[in-house]
Structure 1
Amino acid sequence: MFAGRHANVTAVRRKNNEIIFYEVPRTSKPWIQKLKKIPLVRGVVAILESSAKGSQHLNFSMESYAEDELADTSTETESTTAKPAKKEEKSGWSLTMIVGVAVAGILSFAFGKIVFTLVPAIIEQLLFQHSFNNRVLHNLIEGVIKILFLLSYLYIISLTPLIKRLFQYHGAEHKVISAYEAGAELTVSNVQKFTRLHYRCGSSFIVFSVLVGVIVYSFFHWDSLWERIYLRLLLLPVVLGASYEALRFTNALRDLPVLRFLGYPGLWLQKLTTKEPTDDQVAVSIASFNRMLELDGQVSKP
């Protein structure tokens, strides 16, 4: 999946080697555009928006995969009669379906973020509540637990074939972007020469949310576990917004020799969230990126 200025495009390779596209124009309400200009607030808006749109594109790829799997188990007669109906159904996504998938994506992100925020805080409270009174140290230990929790989770799910394949496509996206930014011709052999790690990846945001959370939580005092949980939930939008600003800041400094190390934690995490892609996967990513450029070019024409 690639997001351009005017369109988001996802490419999927079917089992017959045909590459199909899911294309969604990038449109936002005027009030959303205004919110995107407000520091701290724009981060929360961007995260929720990307979660909603990402769920739609992921649902499209899952439907395409399911159709291929279903076709393999169907008879030749059944497949010839069912395929036209499926294509008609897919092309006719209703507004209700799209909104439903978007809401599901936002709720999934919110639930996951709440779990990864509260569980480490609860564990730290239960283990070290009476060990010392230093609030900053409590937050640091909570941050360490959160990072260990996150790394363990990513490592475990990366062992499953489906998630490994997803992470390979993630790596292919990064390679294509890096090749394009370097001015290289977008061929499979050229793209494969570039790194699968990229500064602007959302994985970097995850790391910053942990580090920023340690700082933000240190300014607030709690006396009980429930008060600590309440503060974490209340401050979650603040942490997300500040993390987004930190990510923008490090992206702006990534070309400075001394300060580029600020983005290294996010790059290290991408060792887990990306895998080396195959040539076929890179080819799909190139097709998606080129289609996105094509759509952007059509909109930009006077």
Structure 2
Amino acid sequence: MGKEQQPPAYGGQALVEGVMFGGKNHTVAAIRRKDDTIDYFHLPKEKNSVRMKLKKIPFVRGIVALIESAGVGSRHLTFSSERYDVMPGEEIEKEEETSKLAMVLGVAAVGVLSLLFGKFVFTLIPVFLAQALQFVAPGKTAQILLESLFKLILLLTYVSLISMTPLIKRVFQYHGAEHKVINAYENNLPMTVENVQAQSRLHFRCGSSFMLFTVIVGMFVYFLVPTDPFWLRIVNRILLIPVVLGISFEVLQLTNSLRNVPVLKYLGYPGLWLQLLTTKDPDDKQVEVAIASFERLLEIEEHGAVAMEVVTKSDSETETETVPVT
């Protein structure tokens, strides 16, 4: 039963007017086009022996998985942002691509806040704020607690502000649809709009929970290293980024494995509370897109992309496929 509730092969990501789901060998995105049709984008997962070995090593596997998901997710985001508001067959002018790219980066920041530049900003700004208030909160313990508080405030403020924009609101609705589909699947329910809508929009394995865990885990890790002098504190925070990410990923996996254990399930609740901000209840049409994406993934995982006759064309050409939308 535990395996049915936690199928390790399936995860997802909200897109612009769509949802991407990933399995063992493939990732598939489905988006709602301007003419109300559903369009698909398929990417096979690249096989790399070194990466596969690294993904089996605890604390290292999380960093590898995050980098991998960020790369794959950005390609799906590009696909969705370039097509969702364009009629099938229309070409996107080259001069429009810059503004499209800016939008993609804004949406991608929600999912990869803890990576690359975003992670540096998220890590270092609280350090400088805490240092500026050292006269109020002197000492290592007080500084680390204050730093962690600023980091939490920064995270909540960022998510709250972007959730006010119409585009991100809809992305968060698709985020909720993604979770509802996964919950329906893990509960062995038929993939109908009614069944999916009845599910929770929260999930223990969500990346939003991971972002919150980086704040909590970071606080405990920082107690193990010096905070003075200030330059050493900055160096420590930068060098510890992969350590915090790796441990946070393991904590995320642990809370997911304990979600049905009395009392211990509450360890994952802080992450679920954050998801109240990063997910919204989807409408039926958004759930339809999420279901279409997930069912297409299952079909491709079972039969293969060639058998499904899914053909992805580059640039402004429209993806074509012979399987009708269900």
Q: Normalising by structure 2, what TM-score? A: 0.79
1:37 is displaced (CA, Å) by: 1.0
Q: How does 1:280-299 map to 2 (within 5 A)?
A: 280-299=285-304
1:230 is displaced (CA, Å) by: 1.1
User: Aligned partners of 2:56 and 2:79: how far apart in 1?
Assistant: 30
Please name the residue that 2:74 is paired with: 55
Q: Deviations over 1:189-231 (max 9, x none)?
A: 1111111000111111011111110011110113233221111
Please name the residue that 1:76 is paired with: none
User: Aligned partners of 2:91 and 2:175: how far apart in 1?
Assistant: 31
Q: Are residues 221 and 268 of structure 1, via their aligned partners in 2, closer, same or farther at CA, if it must alter by over 3 Å?
A: same
Question: Matched residue of 1:128: which SS?
Answer: coil
1:137 is displaced (CA, Å) by: 2.8
Q: How does 1:90-129 map to 2 (within 5 A)?
A: 109-128=115-134
User: Aligned partners of 1:204 and 1:266: how far apart in 2?
Assistant: 4
Please name the residue that 1:251 is paired with: 256
Please name the residue that 1:177 is paired with: 182
Please name the residue that 2:313 is paired with: none
Question: Matched residue of 1:212: which SS?
Answer: helix
Please name the residue that 1:35 is paired with: 54
Question: Matched residue of 1:37: which SS?
Answer: coil
User: Aligned partners of 1:261 and 1:137: how far apart in 2?
Assistant: 27
Q: Are residues 152 and 130 of structure 1, via their aligned partners in 2, closer, same or farther at CA, if it must alter by over 3 Å?
A: closer
Q: 2:236 aligns with which of 231, 241, 248?
A: 231
Question: Matched residue of 1:67: which SS?
Answer: coil
Amino acid across the alignment from 2:295: N
Q: Which has a greater percent of helix?
A: 1
Please name the residue that 1:260 is paired with: 265
User: Aligned partners of 1:28 and 1:128: how far apart in 2?
Assistant: 50
Q: Are residues 37 and 19 of structure 1, via their aligned partners in 2, closer, same or farther at CA, if it must alter by over 3 Å?
A: same
Please name the residue that 1:160 is paired with: 165
1:27 is displaced (CA, Å) by: 2.2
Kept after mapping to 2: 8 A contact 1:6/1:25 = yes
Structure 1's unaligned 5+ residue stretches are 72-82, 90-100
Amino acid across the alignment from 1:128: Q
1:183 is displaced (CA, Å) by: 1.3
Please name the residue that 1:7 is paired with: 26
Amino acid across the alignment from 1:255: N
State the identity %: 51
Q: Deviations over 1:97-153 (max 9, x none)?
A: xxxx9xx988993111110100011101111256422x2332122111111111011
Q: Are residues 19 and 131 of structure 1, via their aligned partners in 2, closer, same or farther at CA, if it must alter by over 3 Å?
A: closer
Structure 2's unaligned 5+ residue stretches are 1-19, 95-104, 308-326
Point out 4+ residue stretches in structure 1 off by more than 4 angstroms.
104-108
Amino acid across the alignment from 1:132: P
Kept after mapping to 2: 8 A contact 1:6/1:299 = no
Amino acid across the alignment from 1:124: A
RMSD over aligned CA atoms reads: 2.3
Please name the residue that 2:40 is paired with: 21
1:299 is displaced (CA, Å) by: 4.0
Q: Are residues 257 and 108 of structure 1, via their aligned partners in 2, closer, same or farther at CA, if it must alter by over 3 Å?
A: closer
Amino acid across the alignment from 2:153: L
Q: Are residues 189 and 212 of structure 1, via their aligned partners in 2, closer, same or farther at CA, if it must alter by over 3 Å?
A: same
Q: Are residues 170 and 107 of structure 1, via their aligned partners in 2, closer, same or farther at CA, if it must alter by over 3 Å?
A: closer
Q: Normalising by structure 1, what TM-score? A: 0.85
Q: Are residues 57 and 117 of structure 1, via their aligned partners in 2, closer, same or farther at CA, if it must alter by over 3 Å?
A: same
User: Aligned partners of 1:108 and 1:120: how far apart in 2?
Assistant: 14
User: Aligned partners of 1:190 and 1:252: how far apart in 2?
Assistant: 24
